[in-house]
């Protein structure tokens, strides 16, 4: 390395890291007031979501049952205005995909997919609305873009650590420690995003006139369904433990019930 270059590179890297830290409060999730790191343009994020959804519709079989399709569309069109603000380039579309997965997803741009496995598992429209509200909340809170921004921040910090420890005999140990710390932080953020989407999803379904207590019923059923499987420790998981999720939903219910009563 050219003399003096190492200190210059190090200064540049840590200046970039400092800039990222300053940007960490550049956006706020309206429903919770949480500040978030956001380095991805909202319009760009929406275009990526629209493109990804178009690809999915060519790659996965779409359910042809008009009753199932209308059920999802009806619920979605009640939840969409309950978001209470415009999403960039939102062109709401609700599609049912043929799959045994008990799951759903939403992408930037207002695209929502529901698997037939979830339709068969959800006993009521209220339970289905709980899952759809949760997935739409991920999009409105821009969790995907936030995770991408966090990954960029971790990469910059990792580069700084690598440069700073280049000549250290403890370099490998330090880099391993940084990697473990970064992974633990990313996993925690993922669990936090899930909990935030749970809370915002409760709000959306209540505003749409769906009983928020159904979210607790749904996750209790999911917990019973998954009870026999191997369970990863919560701190190593991207999602909160079922007991944690249910306890939080129950804690938030009292503030959501009056909203539901006003919109039912």
Q: What pTM did the predictor assign?
A: 0.80
Return the DSSP state at 94: E
Q: Which residue has the higher pLDDT, 13 or 173?
A: 173
Where along the chain do its domains lie? 39-263
pLDDT digits (tens, 9 = 90+) for 101-132: 999 999 999 999 999 999 999 999 999 999 99
Active-site annotation holds for 234: no
**pLDDT tops 90 at residue 18:** no
> Which pLDDT belongs to residue 147?
87
CA gap 115, 156 in Å, rounded? 38
Active-site residue (options: 31, 45, 127, 135): 135
User: What six digits make up the tokens of 184?
Assistant: 């633990």
Length of the chain in residues, anyone?
A: 264
Please provide the DSSP assignment of 109-125 as one string. TTEEEEEHHHHHH--SH
Please provide the DSSP assignment of 38-62 as one string. --S-HHHHHHHHHHHHHHHHHHSPB
> Which pLDDT belongs to residue 37?
86
pLDDT digits (tens, 9 = 90+) for 20-31: 454 444 789 999
> Which pLDDT belongs to residue 162?
58
pLDDT digits (tens, 9 = 90+) for 235-253: 446 567 899 999 999 999 9
Mean pLDDT, residues 38-49? 91
Give the list of residues 6+ apart from residue 18 with CB closer than 8 angstroms, or none.
none
> Which pLDDT belongs to residue 178?
42
């Amino acid at each position: 390395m050219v003399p003096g270059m190492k200190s210059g590179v190090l200064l540049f890297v840590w200046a970039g890291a400092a800039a990222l830290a300053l940007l960490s409060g550049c956006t706020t999730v309206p429903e919770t007031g949480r500040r978030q790191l956001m380095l991805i343009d909202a319009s760009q994020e929406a275009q990526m979501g629209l493109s990804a959804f178009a690809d999915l519709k060519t790659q996965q079989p779409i359910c042809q049952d008009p009753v199932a399709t209308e059920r999802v569309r009806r619920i979605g069109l009640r939840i969409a205005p309950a978001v209470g603000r415009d999403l960039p380039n939102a062109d709401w579309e609700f599609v049912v995909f043929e799959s045994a997965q008990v799951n759903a997803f939403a992408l930037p741009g207002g695209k929502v997919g529901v698997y037939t496995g979830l339709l068969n598992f959800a006993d009521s429209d209220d339970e289905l609305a709980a899952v759809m509200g949760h997935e739409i909340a991920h999009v409105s809170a821009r969790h995907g873009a936030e995770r991408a921004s966090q990954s960029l921040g971790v990469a910059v910090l990792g580069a700084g650590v690598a440069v700073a420890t280049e000549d250290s005999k403890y370099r490998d140990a330090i880099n391993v420690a940084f990697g473990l710390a970064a992974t633990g932080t990313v996993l925690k953020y993922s669990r936090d995003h899930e909990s935030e989407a749970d809370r915002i999803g409760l709000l959306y379904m209540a505003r749409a006139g769906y009983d928020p207590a159904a979210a607790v019923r749904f996750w209790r059923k999911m917990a019973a369904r998954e009870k026999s499987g191997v369970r990863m420790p919560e701190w190593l998981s991207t999602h909160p433990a079922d007991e944690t999720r249910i306890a939080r939903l129950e804690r938030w219910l009292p503030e959501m019930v009056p909203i539901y009563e006003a919109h039912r």
